[in-house]
Amino acid sequence: MFISETPQFEIHRLYAHNSLRNYTYLILKKATREVTIIDPWDAEACLDYLRNLESSQFFVINTHQHHDHVKGNAGLLAAGAVIQLPDYLQAQPLPGHTCEHVVFYLKDESEHLFCGDTLFQAGVGNCKNGGDPLALYASIQWLRTHLLLSTLLHVGHDYFKKNLHFAQQFEPDNSDIQYYLSNLKLQEGFEMPPNSWAIELKINPFLRLSETALRQGLKRLDKFESSELVSDRDIFIKLRSLRDNF
C-alpha cells in the first residue's frame, strides 16, 4: 500500500493481517529503485511487492529484535538482501519497549519517523518483554523535544482503535478522539494514513500527561489517589500499567 512520498522517496506499507497486526515498511529511492525494508514480517509478501516496484536491490533494517519484527529477515537475506542502514536514514536509539530499540528518520523536505514499537497511534509500546517504562518515558520526552508538528509517524502495529478506546475513558469529551473513533467505524486502522505528531498531541494520552482533562479522568475513575498525582512521569507509568491490562 502506497502511503506517502517525498521528492526523492516513496513510502509503502504492508499490513500482516496477523493477530499482532504488524506493519512492514518499504522505502523506495526513486532515482535508483533501491528499497529499504523496515521490520519485515513476511519475506514472500515483501518480495512480491518488490517485484511490483521493479526493484532488485534491497536492504533490511530492524527497529528491535522481537520475533515479529525480524521474522522476514532470513527469507529476504536468502533472496539477496543486505542488512545495511542507507545514508538517507538516520538511526536514533530510543530504549523503553526494549533496551536496544531504535527508530529511523527520513528527512527529504518532509520528515518521517519509523517508530517501531516506541510510539503508536494514540499509544506507546509495552515494556513487558525486556523493556523499562522509565526509559520509555524518557524516550517519549526526547521525541517531544525533537519532532516537528508535521512529522509523519510510521508505527509498528495497528492498535489504533483499541488505543483510542483506552484514551477515551479518561477524556470522553475529547472531540479529536471522537472524530477518529468515528472514522474507524467506516474503515480499519490499517487502511488509514499515518498520523502526524500534531495529531498525536491531541489524542495520545501518553503525550497529554499535563492536561487537566486527563488528570481529572484518572481521578474520576479512581485510577490515582489525588496525593499521588505528582509528576508527568508518575502518570505515564500509571497509564502504561493500566494499558497493559486494558
Model pLDDT for residues 31-81, shown as the tens digit of each residue:
999 999 999 999 999 999 999 999 989 999 999 999 999 999 999 999 999
Q: Which three three-digit cell numbers place residue 49?
A: 511487492
Q: Which three three-digit cell numbers place residue 40?
A: 519485515
CB burial of residue 78 (10 Å; 0-12, 13-18, 19+):
exposed
φ, ψ for residue 196 (rounded to 5)? -90, 165
The pLDDT tens digits for 149-164 are 999 999 999 999 999 9
pLDDT of 18 higher than 70? yes
Whether the Cβ atoms of residue 129 and residue 167 lie closer than 8 Å to each other = no
Query: What secondary structure letter does DSSP report for 22?
Result: B
Q: Among candidates 5, 22, 24, which has minimal Cα distance to 14? A: 24
Domains of the chain as residue ranges with CATH = 2-244 (3.60.15.10)
Which pLDDT score, from 0 to 100, does residue 229 have?
A: 56
pLDDT of 228 higher than 70? no
Query: What secondary structure letter does DSSP report for 208?
Result: -
Query: What secondary structure letter does DSSP report for 206?
Result: G
Helix axes 232-244, 212-220, angle to 10 degrees: 50
Q: Among candidates 42, 50, 41, which has minimal Cα distance to 12? A: 50
The pLDDT tens digits for 99-125 are 999 999 998 888 999 999 999 999 999
Which pLDDT score, from 0 to 100, does residue 223 have?
A: 67
Model-level pTM?
A: 0.95
Which pLDDT score, from 0 to 100, does residue 159 have?
A: 97
Given the DSSP bridges, would you call strands 23-29 and 119-120 parallel, antiparallel or unpaired?
Answer: unpaired
Which pLDDT score, from 0 to 100, does residue 226 have?
A: 57
The pLDDT tens digits for 165-222 are 999 999 999 999 999 999 999 999 999 999 999 999 999 999 999 999 999 998 888 7
